[in-house]
């Protein structure tokens, strides 16, 4: 069985065109999807900043923070270095809960 990618999309291509949407609708959908991705990245950065600020304020090492956060030391490094693609919002919220921070969600 061939499981290779038969039609890889090039960077900059619009997947919505490939799905059969009209060019106008595909452009609208892509703009909307990109905005949602940007918002998710901003939220993750904000949550990561809170964890990094806690570390500074508490003067804890990455190794000590890892124990409190229930993750490995390299994962703490990823947080400090803002590697947003390696975390879900849920994982970051859980880490914040472990350090006594409350996260409030607002839907608008």
Query: Between 8 and 55, where is the model more confident?
Result: 55
Q: What is the structure's pLDDT at 107?
A: 79
Q: What is the structure's pLDDT at 9?
A: 61
Q: Where are the domains of the chain?
A: 15-98
The pTM score is 0.81
Average pLDDT over residues 95-106: 92
Structure tokens at 22: 């009209």
- The pLDDT tens digits of the residues spanning 43-79 come to 999 999 999 999 999 999 999 999 999 999 999 999 9
CATH architecture of the domain formed by 15-98: Orthogonal Bundle (1.10)
Query: Between 48 and 106, where is the model more confident?
Result: 48
Cβ atoms < 10 Å from Cβ of 31: 10
């Amino acid at each position: 069985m061939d499981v290779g990618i038969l039609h890889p999309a090039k960077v900059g291509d619009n997947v919505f065109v490939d799905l059969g949407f009209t060019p106008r609708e595909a452009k609208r959908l892509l703009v909307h999807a990109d905005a949602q991705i940007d918002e998710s990245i901003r939220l993750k950065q904000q949550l990561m900043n809170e964890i990094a600020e806690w570390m500074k304020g508490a003067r804890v090492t990455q190794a000590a923070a890892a124990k409190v956060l229930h993750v490995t030391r390299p994962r703490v490094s990823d947080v400090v270095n803002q590697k947003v693609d390696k975390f879900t919002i849920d994982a970051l919220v859980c880490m914040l809960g472990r350090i006594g921070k409350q996260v409030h969600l607002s839907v608008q």
